[in-house]
Amino acid sequence: METPHALVKDLRSTGYFFNELKSYTQSSEITLETYCTDFAVPYLLKISKSYDKSGRSPRSRILMLAIKHLSDPSEWEIVDSIFGIKKVAESEIKKTSKASLEQQHDKSRSLADRQGMESAEFLIKLLVNIIKMFRLAEPDSFRKKTDEVENPVFDAITRSWEVLERRDT
């Protein structure tokens, strides 16, 4: 599998990490791994820390999942990680939307759910941008809905998410 890469000037045009990418002079192209570890993860970490400091920790939960699984993946795992995190975030939005319609009376829980959902939406926007800019194709293991196809990366992401959810409930 060829390492996904994108032109730095194209990445700058997205608005994400504009100033940081402006000073990137190593090459006119950047690999997906470098982009995630040098730009996306530090950005998510900064946002997550600001949420924690301001007492909005439900917002940082899904960001911490992304940080964990984008920080040091091997070359073949990074694409699976991006699609796996996106899938978990989409699932969280659906679940939270449904729960908020059913349980409108608990305001503190509703606020935490809304904050978590907003972070999931923010994360999906970033991941979709990465998918488009690096022209990533969804791995077969995500497209096929059979039990025969194993996806250890997605399974690890799902387990991590379950641990984070239990810790906050």
Distance CA(159)–CA(165), nearest Å, equals: 10
Buried b (16+ CB within 10 A) or exposed e, 62-87: bbbbbbbbbeebeeebbbbbbbbbbb
Residues 60, 120 contacting (CB under 8 angstroms) = no
Domain span at 110? 5-168
- Residue 161 is predicted with a pLDDT of 74
Calculate the average pLDDT of the chain.
Answer: 83
Total domain count, the chain: 1
Lowest mean pLDDT of 28-32, 105-109, 118-122, name the range.
105-109
Whether 101 has a pLDDT exceeding 70, the answer reads no
Q: How far apart are CA 110 and CA 22, in angstroms?
A: 40
The identity of residue 51, as a single letter, is: Y
